[in-house]
Amino acid sequence: MPKLKTKSAAKKRFQVMKSGRVKHARAYAKHLFTFGKTPGSKRRNRGTAFSKPMDAKKLKKELFPYGAN
């Protein structure tokens, strides 16, 4: 059977930590800051976050077939 490839998009967007948690960048924080977003939402969307345990399990299973890192 052929080898499975890791999804390249997942490599660029997610990082699996040693504890098994999946770190990702927050959404809605790239552009359009002059209008349409409150100061609070701009502040909350900075930096990175960890996905929920169920989503992390799916990410690791489907996008990283042989485990991450």
Task: Give mean pLDDT in consecutive 10-residue pieces for the chain, a chain of 69 residues.
Answer: 84 89 90 88 92 92 78
Q: Could you say which DSSP state residue 6 is in? A: P
* Topology of the domain comprising 10-63: Factor Xa Inhibitor (4.10.410)
pLDDT at 61: 87
Closest CA to 45 of 30, 23, 32, 34: 30
52 in the Ramachandran plot: left (φ > 0), alpha (ψ -120 to 50) or beta? beta
CB 13 within 8 A of CB 25: yes
pLDDT at 68: 65
